[in-house]
Amino acid sequence: MNFDYLEAFMYVVRFKSFHKAADALYLSQPSITARIKGLERELDTQLFARQGRGVTLTAKGKEFIPFAEQLIRTYQQSKQKLQTKTDKRRFTIGSNMITAQYVLPDFLHYFQELEPELEFDVRCGGNEQMLEGVSRNEIDIAFVRQQGRELEKLVIEPFLDNSIVLVVHPEHEFESNVRYTAHEIAKESIVFFECGGFNWNLVQKIFEAHNVIPSIKHRVGNMEVAKSLIVHRSGIGFLPKLAVKKELDRGELRSVDVSHLMNFNQQIEGVQSLTNPLNASIKRSLIKAAELFEQKVVYQSVI
């Protein structure tokens, strides 16, 4: 059976749209349509029924899903086995963009030291893209923003603390251990940062709860720009802990306690498939590498 047909089928199932599936696969919609028709010819049955602009699965289409998943999984596993040129194990890590930029460069040093015989691939993208990769057993473990929900056939575990912190320039008048009110913080010039890996709404609730409007001086969608503005005394800001870890360690930024205003705890979570559980040794190494990263251990041999 043609693998391209199966891949197109599963993408249409996920997106419920030929057009969206085509975009996700970087193909034209006619190409997706042709692949689905080819699969239907091979199976001699109709898999989808059009419904307005979208499509729905027929009863036969729903029955075919587990078979398609198994065929894709078998194909991927056999392809990987045949293409492996050494006896070393291969391991695929997925990561959202914030984790890839601010965690993986140091974390992977520790992980490689703990698993020297392991060859690993790293894939980066959006949270949903990474979850999809795990679901299809193309990614062994993905590090994504805290989901706050259960996901079918996926195991989700806390990986790293990525709580939101209020950061200021080291010489700012705010003291680190003083508990400032929402009104006092709102008077400061605030660097507003928001992207897919950061939930500004959680911060906004502080000011809404105290019926105060924050003084937003800058609105930026880039983490490095946000940090630079705070370092250069253009304001204060709420940023993910891992994104400012190095600046805090070097004393270029300083955090201010705001735990009394709201629970800002959020995690980077590790997600794996129920059907593709992690090797026990690899799991221990991932946990140890995370501990070394959080403890700010200077990179050196950890064996």
State pLDDT tens for residues 34-72.
Answer: 999 999 999 999 999 987 777 899 999 999 999 988 888
Distance spanning both ends of the chain, measured CA to CA: 46
Q: Are 150 and 194 in the same domain?
A: no
Cα gap 138→296, rounded to integer Å: 31
Domain CATH number, residue 233: 3.40.190.10
Domain stop point among 34, 65, 83: 83
Domain CATH number, residue 35: 1.10.10.10
Sign, CA dihedral 226-232-238-244, equals positive
According to the model, what pLDDT value does residue 38 have? 92
Q: Is residue 103 part of a domain?
A: yes
47 CB-near residues (< 8 Å, 6+ apart):
9, 36, 39, 40, 57, 58, 60, 61, 64
Q: Are 156 and 170 in the same domain?
A: no
Q: Is residue 10 part of a domain?
A: yes
According to the model, what pLDDT value does residue 180 have? 94
Q: Are 56 and 185 in the same domain?
A: no
Q: Are 191 and 145 in the same domain?
A: no
Domain stop point among 83, 117, 152: 83
Q: Is residue 299 part of a domain?
A: no
Residue 103 neighbours by CB distance under 10 Å: 23
Q: Are 27 and 111 in the same domain?
A: no
Q: Are 224 and 95 in the same domain?
A: no
Cα gap 70→80, rounded to integer Å: 15
Pull the structure tokens for residue 296: 């700010």
According to the model, what pLDDT value does residue 301 have? 38
Q: Are 196 and 240 in the same domain?
A: yes
User: Is residue 178 a contact partner of residue 258, using CB atoms and an 8 Å limit?
Assistant: no
Q: Is residue 261 part of a domain?
A: no
Q: Is residue 76 part of a domain?
A: yes
Q: Are 250 and 170 in the same domain?
A: yes
212: containing domain:
164-256
Q: Are 283 and 207 in the same domain?
A: no
Closest CA to 35 of 81, 71, 4: 4
Q: Are 44 and 20 in the same domain?
A: yes
Sign, CA dihedral 55-60-63-64, equals negative
pLDDT in tens, 101-135: 899 999 999 999 999 888 889 999 888 889 989 98
Q: Are 214 and 150 in the same domain?
A: no
Q: Say which amino acid occupies 213.
A: I
Q: Are 77 and 94 in the same domain?
A: no
Average the pLDDT over each of 80-94, 115-129, 177-191, 206-220 and give the range with the smallest value: 80-94
Domain stop point among 63, 83, 103: 83
Cα gap 272→133, rounded to integer Å: 10
According to the model, what pLDDT value does residue 83 have? 56
Domain count, the chain: 3
